[in-house]
Structure 1
Amino acid sequence: MDPRISKQRTALVLDQPFFGALALRLKVIEDPSCKTFWTDSVSIGYNPAYLAHLNDLETRGVLAHEVLHVANGHCWRQGDRDPDLWNDACDHAINPMIVDAGMLLPKGVLMDARFRGKSAEEIYGILAQEKRQKQKQQQQARGQKDGGKPGGQSGQQPGDLTGGTSPPQSANGANTPSASADLVPSPAPSCGEVRQYVADDRAKQEAEWKVAVHQAAKAAQMCGGMPGGLQGMIAQAVEPAVDWRPILHRFAQDSSPTDYSFAMPNRRYLHMRLYLPSLHEPAVGDAVFVRDASGSVWDETQAQFAAEILAVNDAVRPRRLIVMDCDTRVTQIQTFERGDAVDLLPVCGGGGTSFVDPFIRLANDGIHPAFLVYLTDMDGRFPDGEPSYPVLWASTTPLRRAKRAPFGETVEVIC
Structure 2
Amino acid sequence: MDPRISKQRTALVLDQPFFGALALRLKAIEDPSCETFWTDGVSLGYNPAYLASINDLEVRGVLGHEVLHAANGHCWRAGDRDPDLWNDACDYAINPIVLDAGMLLPGKPLVDPRFRGMSAEEIYAVLAQERREAQKDGQGGAGQQGGNSDAGNQPNPLQGQGDPQSANGANTPQGGQSPGGSPSCGEVRQYHGEDKPLQEAEWKVAVHQAAKAAQMRGDLPGDLQAMIQQAVEPVVDWRAVLHRFAQQASPTDYSFAMPNRRYVHMGLYLPALHEPAVGDAVFVRDSSGSVFDGTQAQFAAEIMAMNESLRPRRLIVLDCDTRVTQMQVFERGEPVELLPVRGGGGTAFTDPFLRLAREDINPVFVVYLTDTFGRYPDAEPPYPVLWASTVPLRSANLAPFGEMVEVIC
| Aligned 8 A contact 2:134 2:140 in 1 | no
Alignment partner of 1:208 is 2:208: no
Q: Name 1:92's counterpart in structure 2.
A: 92
Task: Give, in angstroms, the shift of residue 300 of structure 1.
Answer: 0.9
2:328 corresponding residue in structure 1: 334
User: How far apart, CA to CA, are the structure 2 residues paired with 1:384 and 1:107?
Assistant: 49
CA contact 1:110–1:188 (8 Å) conserved in 2: no
Cα distance change, pair 185–372 in 1 and its aligned pair in 2 (3 A): farther
The residue identity in structure 2 corresponding to 1:44 is: L
Calculate the TM-score normalised by the size of structure 2. 0.87
Alpha-carbon contact 1:58-1:105 (below 8 Å) kept? yes
Larger mean Cα displacement after TM superposition, 330-339 or 114-123: 114-123
Work out whether 1:6 is the aligned partner of 2:43: no
Deviations 1:235-281 (A, max 9, x none): 11112211100111111111111123343333345456665543211
Find the partner of 2:255 among 261, 269, 273. Answer: 261
Find 1:283's aligned residue among 277, 280, 304.
277
Gap change, CA 1:199 and 1:327, over 3 Å in 2: same
Looking at structure 2, the residues matched to 16 and 133 of structure 1 have their Cα atoms a distance apart, in angstroms, of 41
Equivalent residues of 1:31, 1:47 under 8 A apart: yes
SS at match of 1:109: coil
The one-letter code of the counterpart of 1:34 is C
For the residue of structure 1 that corresponds to 2:394, the secondary structure is coil
- Report what 1:148 is aligned to: none
Report SS of the residue matched to 2:236: coil
Matched with 1:59 is 59
Matches for 1:27-42 after TM superposition, within 5 Å: 27-42=27-42
Give 1:10 shift.
1.8
Q: How does 1:150-169 map to 2 (within 5 A)?
A: none
Give distance in 2, aligned partners of 1:69 and 1:240: 18
Report the equivalent of 1:77. 77
In the aligned structure 1, how far is the partner of 2:316 from the partner of 2:270?
37
Unmatched segments (≥5 aa) in structure 1 = 142-176, 178-183
- 1:240 paired to 2:234: yes
The answer (yes or no) to whether the contact 1:109–1:189 under 8 Å persists in 2 is no
Aligned counterparts, 1:374-393, within 5 A: 374-393=368-387
* Match 2:339 to one of 342, 345, 353: 345
Give the Cα separation in 1 of the matches to 2:181 and 2:129: 16
C-alpha deviation, 1:318, in angstroms: 0.4
Which residue of the partner structure matches residue 168 of structure 1?
Answer: none
Give the Cα separation in 2 of the matches to 1:205 and 1:139: 41
Residue 414 (1) aligns with residue 404 (2): no
- Give the C-alpha shift of residue 82 in structure 1: 2.2
- Matched residues in 1 for 2:234 and 2:268: separation? 50
Pairs within 5 Å for 1:121-200? 121-138=121-138, 189-200=183-194
In 2, distance between residues paired with 1:378 and 1:186? 37
How far is 1:75 from its partner?
A: 1.1
For 1:303-382, list aligned pairs within 5 A: 303-382=297-376
Distance 2:179 2:289 in 1: 22
Query: In the alignment, is the contact (CA less than 8 A) between 1:373 and 1:392 conserved in 2?
Result: yes
SS in 2 for 1:400: helix
The residue type equivalent to 1:220 in the other structure is A
Q: Structure 1-normalised TM-score?
A: 0.85
1:230 paired to 2:224? yes
Render the CA deviation track for 1:21-63: whole Å, top value 9, x for unaligned.
Answer: 1111212222111100011222211112112221222111111
Is the contact made by 1:110 and 1:189 (CA closer than 8 Å) also made in structure 2? no
8 Å CA contact retained: 1:288, 1:372: yes
SS in 1 for 2:282: strand
Per-residue deviation, residues 289-327 of structure 1 (Å, max 9, x unmatched) = 011111111111111101111111111010001111111
1:414/1:140 Cα in 2 relative to 1: closer, same or farther (>3 Å)? closer
Change in 2 beyond 3 A, CA 1:278/1:97: same
What is the aligned-residue RMSD (CA, Å)?
Answer: 2.2
Question: Take 1:203 and 1:334, find their aligned partners in 2: how far apart are those partners?
Answer: 37
* Overall identity of the aligned pairs, in %: 76
| Structure number, greater radius of gyration | 1
C-alpha distance in 2, partners of 1:279/1:26?
Answer: 55
Contact 2:107 2:182 in 1 (8 A): no
Residues of 2 paired with 1:307 and 1:67: CA distance?
34
Distance in 1 of aligned mates of 2:6 and 2:269: 82
CA drift at 1:112? 2.1
Check whether the contact 2:115–2:123 (CA below 8 A) recurs between aligned residues: yes
Unaligned runs of 5+ in 2: 142-176
CA distance in 1, matches of 2:408, 2:254: 37
Instruction: Tell me by how many angstroms 1:137 deviates.
Output: 3.4
Tell me, in whole angstroms, the C-alpha distance in 2 between the residues paired with 1:292 and 1:109: 33
- Cα distance, 1:139 vs structure 2: 8.9
Q: Which amino acid aligns with 2:128?
A: A
| Alignment-derived partner of residue 151 in structure 1 | none
